[in-house]
Amino acid sequence: MSLRTFIKKMLLIALLSTISLSAARAGIMVNKTRIIFNQNDNSATATLSNVSKDNYAVQVWINGESERSDEEIPFIVTPTLFRVAPSEEQIVKIIPLPRPALPTDRESVYYFNAQEIPTVSKTGASNQLTVAIRTRLKLFYRPTGLAGSPDQAAATLKWARVDQGGQAHLRVTNPSPWNLSFSEIRFSSGGHTFNVSDPVMLKPFSHHDYALSGKTASRQGTVHFSIINDYGGISPKPDVTLD
């Protein structure tokens, strides 16, 4: 190690040692893990609680998956900005707007965001590093008349081992009108198991391919999977055998 590199590392350590980090956990907690908005609902609510010993300002809003600022969002939240003292809570209301028209043959998904803005004490403020944490929850809009339920839709999923660009993939197809969020997907074949890391939410009438390693290239195997239900719990489903 060169002398210059050594000095840089020592200076960095000295700098970090003077910084007081706020706890890297959310000070504001939401009372649910997802929000369900039925077509006939006039509004939905969420409760935000301050579980810390500090004062927080909180900003809330709803956006789409891409977080584009020019996307039309059919919901608003009120209030949008508020202060929450330690051990206090604030109820926010989600209200639908008349536009844009949403599909009536499938669920739509948006995202509820809560950005906490911690206050910095005047004492020692010059050497404090505050960490603002954003909580992001899925907001599902459910039209009336959809057949079945998300739990029942899990049984209609189609699984197959396919080739894409010379690589083996596990394909899952959703023929239902429901958004399905996975907790776990595993594919076992030939004595080997492939664990899907952070499986994506499967949208209605769509499919997704997960790349498999060479050890799980066989077309035969067993799929093990679990679905996240409306309450944020895990619902294991029967294994599916691929022939």
Q: What is the mean pLDDT of residues 80-89?
A: 96
CB 67 within 8 A of CB 134: no
pLDDT digit string, tens, across residues 19-37: 333 344 679 999 999 999 9
Query: Is pLDDT of 10 > 60?
Result: no
- Measure the CA–CA gap between 172 and 131, rounded to whole angstroms: 38
Is-same-fold flag (26-142; 150-242)?
yes
Cis? peptide before 143, omega within 30° of 0: no
- Higher pLDDT pick, 173 / 132: 173
> What is residue 123's predicted lDDT score, i.e. its pLDDT?
57
Give whole-number Cα distances, 130 to 54, 193, 239, in Å: 12, 42, 46
Query: Is pLDDT of 9 > 80?
Result: no
Identify the architecture of domain 150-242 in CATH: Sandwich (2.60)
Entry pTM: 0.83
> What is residue 15's predicted lDDT score, i.e. its pLDDT?
38
> What is residue 213's predicted lDDT score, i.e. its pLDDT?
80
- Measure the CA–CA gap between 227 and 229, rounded to whole angstroms: 6
> What is residue 190's predicted lDDT score, i.e. its pLDDT?
84
Query: Is pLDDT of 6 > 60?
Result: no
Q: Give the fold, CATH level 3, of 26-142.
A: Immunoglobulin-like (2.60.40)
How is the chain split into domains, by residue range?
A: 26-142, 150-242
pLDDT class for 116, splitting at 50, 70, 90? very high
Report the Cα–Cα distance between both ends of the chain, in Å, rounded. 57
